[in-house]
Amino acid sequence: MSIEALIGKFQEASEHPHRLLTSYKEQGKKVIGVLPYYAPEELVYAAGMIPMTIWGSNKKTISLAKEYCATFYCTIAQLALEMLLDGTLDQLDGIITPTICDTLRPMSQNFRVAMSEKLPCIFLAHPQYRRPAFGLQFTMDQYNHIKKELEKISGAPITDEAIREAIKVFNRSRAARREFSKLAGQHPEAISAVARSAVFRSSWFMVKDEHTKLLEELNEELKKLPASDWKGAKIVTSGIICDNPKLLQIFDDNKIAIVADDVAQESRMTRVDAAETGDPMMALAQQFADQDYEVLLYDEHSEQNRRGEYVASLVKDNGGQGLVLFMQQFCDPEEMEYPYLKKALDAANIPHIKLGVDQQMRDFGQASTAIQAFADVL
């Protein structure tokens, strides 16, 4: 299959996840919605069900959700609730609600109240002290709770062997996405910013096996291409999410290639694999404990500005000329981190711009002007 045809399949899944959901249900499969992020989707897969991560929506307006939450909550959480309330996600068989930030923590209870008569809501609390033995035990206890709730929905026990097999499937998916990120950065003439986003975004909606198979095929096609002679700018992106095609099209229109990213919805979630042998629940808990350089997770070495230095190194190591920070509106962790991130970027002589984004953006004039001006100075 050609690169264009493969990209078309990823874009279809990225733009129309509801079609996938309907298809899965018509096949008699059960589907679990997963709020962002760091949820053990492997357990859903091991239960014979399909995890679909809910990252809000670029196409909806907030109406019904206003009855449940403050207007200063980030639009990812508000629009997730909106889709649950307006019937968009009625075909789900349950949802997992992590509490990884100060917005998702109270929102998890709003989900539970709003959906109490519609579908099961499985609560997930992550420990901030995740690396010590007590932190690992806490994570395992939480994951075992999720396992029991998923067994109620699926109607069958989840075996250790099924979890190990799921871990292998997800590790393979992460490996394929890591390789794609590298290859896409090497071939911006073939993978636009819009296409790159679609590949990552579709991974949250498609069955992992199918997505990985297509992505490995795409990776092989990219390897066949001759060395790129890219004349435009090269940048790295950072943030929670930047999946709006209209916003990303501005990069393509200005010949700006995304050579790597520190985006939660994209590469940040592919950094750490889980062990494929031993106790699978401990493997999943250890995988979460090993997550690092994450704005939403406690860093016991925070005085060293490790995350800022990591992001700066990411730009340098991938040949980036600058960084674009997509700062989610009303995201306190990102706003509080920015001075430290800016300090590390300035120390490394890396130019950057900060773009405030949310999923209710309809006018991209200001963003276009900022991106064009940034391209001129790179």
233-247 pLDDT, tens digit each: 999 999 998 889 999
Q: What is the pLDDT of residue 15?
A: 93
79-107 pLDDT, tens digit each: 888 888 888 989 999 999 998 888 888 88
Q: What is the pLDDT of residue 284?
A: 98
CA–CA distance, 123 with 100 (Å, rounded to integer): 11
Q: What is the pLDDT of residue 356?
A: 85
* Phi, psi of 328, deg, nearest 5: -65, 130
Cβ proximity of 357 and 315 under 8 Å: no
Q: What is the pLDDT of residue 364?
A: 79
Cβ proximity of 296 and 241 under 8 Å: no
Instruction: Produce one character per residue of 89-102: b if its CB has 16 or more CB atoms within 10 Å, e if not.
Output: bebbbbbbbbbbbe
Instruction: Produce one character per residue of 44-71: b if its CB has 16 or more CB atoms within 10 Å, e if not.
Output: bbbbebbbbbbbbbbebebeebeebbee
User: Which residues have C-beta within 8 Å of that of residue 5, sequence separation ≥ 6?
Assistant: none
Q: What is the pLDDT of residue 70?
A: 77
Mean pLDDT within 358-362: 75
Tally the residues of the chain.
378
Confidence of residue 206 (pLDDT cuts 50, 70, 90): very high
CA–CA distance, 37 with 373 (Å, rounded to integer): 33
257-313 pLDDT, tens digit each: 999 999 999 999 999 999 999 999 999 999 999 999 998 888 887 777 899 999 999
**CA diameter of the chain:** 59
pTM: 0.94
Cβ proximity of 176 and 6 under 8 Å: no
15-41 pLDDT, tens digit each: 999 999 999 999 999 999 999 889 999
